[in-house]
Structure 1
């Protein structure tokens, strides 16, 4: 029995049409005690369509309404997944203060206004060059952004660009990855185990096992597990793998959040 899923998208995300009531009913049926709805909040991306213009007032009001409606059955967290770029940091820092958020995932979906999924950033680069650009961007974001709890799918750069860019060259980038992890730990931030890598054909979680291990070896404590589901049927998908990873590493707790503050739930 799994305790929580801390990365779930709904119809408020530009890439999802799933109804929130259906998400919640599915989660209750799975026996979850907590879920975090973490819809996308993106800004200043080239060719970003209107579907991505999330109305945070309506979004937060709806989550809070459902939190009360289902409070006897499940604890619903008001979350966001914020697509951080260096030029948008100040905007996000100010905007997120307006809402009673429980949990925020910081993610790097774009660099210099280009979405990673489009392919422009990969043009003319080798796999190592693309991964170097990505991780150095993440490091810059970690050093400068404050309003978040965990960094999302920390090495998912391999998802985009085709077969040429698949596969992590961890050894070649561990210096900057270690700086990222130390920066997160120093700021009291965590990472997530994101199981969507299996659904995207990479046969792994994000981040890779060696990065998760390094985070704990360096003294990290905060970790959530998220399906990154955009369909209710993907909630808790491949969580067995995530829990096996934590067991292998000797990790006995996962994190829970309330009003941006972590607590720790013992893994049964």
Structure 2
């Protein structure tokens, strides 16, 4: 029996970093035997150097998702989702967009600090690895404290992806205190975290967040977990999900989350 039931982080041609035809994603989900998938194209705002192709046309995106939902409703449950790149100063604008549309699922992610994209390398310049990682977690905490219109926080420790080999790897013990505050705040607000398998594709040989963070979230009573490939091409859908399911079962997790109109429900791990 296929234990993989869903993929909750998928990008299509509507994202600035993907050219993947959106209908092909749906067809691949059906081929994989998934019960549901969440399309989560990027909604970014006020990042230096952001080109026009990063501006999500939400009207056109929503129209296409709902067309496909109707077309394939007998084969798969298609969720209307979005990944929002949050910064403390963009709360009002981004939350107004989220409230305007009938989203099923929203990922909040930290892609930029003070309008500078983590991928550009400017944030890492002149800082040690620990300084960069601590700065990132401080911003994650600020975002969680400010934002309300989201369901899970995305790839919560993926800062290690950027800046080159020097910045790879997370020393969990050094950042335990602030990570603990982040996890407790998420649980307090009824929010979850995603397990994002793209770390294997980015040669970090792990998923985001690391196993220590996942264990701690579960120890603290966290229950809302989604699993996402963060795929930008359909061939990556559900890649390395078996590793996640095996790990979650090893620490006693019995359910993953599903969302409909921003409300969570729980599916038992098969």
TM-score (norm 1): 0.99
> Secondary structure of 1:76's partner?
strand
* Residue number in structure 1 paired with 2:218: 216
Counterpart Cα distance in 2 of 1:257 and 1:21:
21
1:112 aligned residue (111, 114, 117): 114
* Residue number in structure 2 paired with 1:177: 179
The total of aligned residue pairs comes to: 268
Counterpart Cα distance in 1 of 2:191 and 2:56:
25
Superposed displacement of residue 246, structure 1: 0.6
TM-score (norm 2): 0.99
Superposed displacement of residue 93, structure 1: 1.1
Counterpart Cα distance in 1 of 2:182 and 2:63:
34
1:235 aligned residue (234, 237, 261): 237
2:54 aligned residue (33, 52, 62): 52
Counterpart Cα distance in 2 of 1:189 and 1:143:
11
> Secondary structure of 2:204's partner?
coil
Runs (4+) of structure 1 moved beyond 3 Å?
Answer: none
Residues 213-253 of structure 1 show CA distances to partners (whole Å, capped at 9, x for unaligned) of 00010010000000000010000000011101111111010
Residues 13-43 of structure 1 show CA distances to partners (whole Å, capped at 9, x for unaligned) of 0000000111111110000000000000000
1:187 maps to 2:189: yes
Q: How does 1:32-43 map to 2 (within 5 A)?
A: 32-43=34-45
Q: How does 1:121-160 map to 2 (within 5 A)?
A: 121-160=123-162
* Residue number in structure 2 paired with 1:248: 250
Q: What do you get for the CA RMSD once the two structures are aligned?
A: 0.5
Counterpart Cα distance in 1 of 2:240 and 2:97:
34
